[in-house]
């Protein structure tokens, strides 16, 4: 069975030795909201929250969503590259 969004967030957060409270503060949400996301109680978290979590944990949104197995850094988008 594939890992859920919450399981991937928790695994990555724990690898960094980061508490749920610290991650929640860095993302700008409550600890309760972060706990609900990790437990899968938030069925459809806002994309902005997933993006903020991915940025803090230095992984891609695709990894958190289970679309990629690699945890690597998010890649710059074509739009971002066009501005350089």
Of 79 and 2, more confident: 2
The yes-or-no verdict on residue 29 having pLDDT over 80 is yes
CB-CB neighbours of 78 under 10 Å? 7
The answer to whether 27 touches 49, Cβ cutoff 8 Å, is: yes
Architecture in CATH of 5-65: Orthogonal Bundle (1.10)
Alpha-carbon separation of residue 62 from 21, 50, 52, 83 (angstroms): 23, 10, 13, 23
Mean pLDDT over 1-30 rounds to 94
pLDDT of amino acid 72: 55
Over residues 30-53, the pLDDT tens digits come to 999 999 999 999 988 999 999 999
Over residues 59-77, the pLDDT tens digits come to 999 999 888 876 654 444 4
């Amino acid at each position: 069975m594939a890992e859920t969004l919450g399981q991937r967030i928790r695994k990555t957060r724990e690898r960094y030795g980061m508490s749920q409270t610290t991650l929640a503060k860095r993302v700008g949400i409550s600890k309760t909201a972060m706990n609900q996301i990790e437990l899968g109680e938030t069925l459809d978290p806002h994309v902005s929250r997933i993006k903020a979590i991915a940025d803090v944990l230095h992984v891609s949104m695709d990894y958190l969503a289970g679309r990629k197995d690699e945890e690597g850094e998010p890649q710059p988008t074509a739009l971002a590259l066009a501005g350089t």
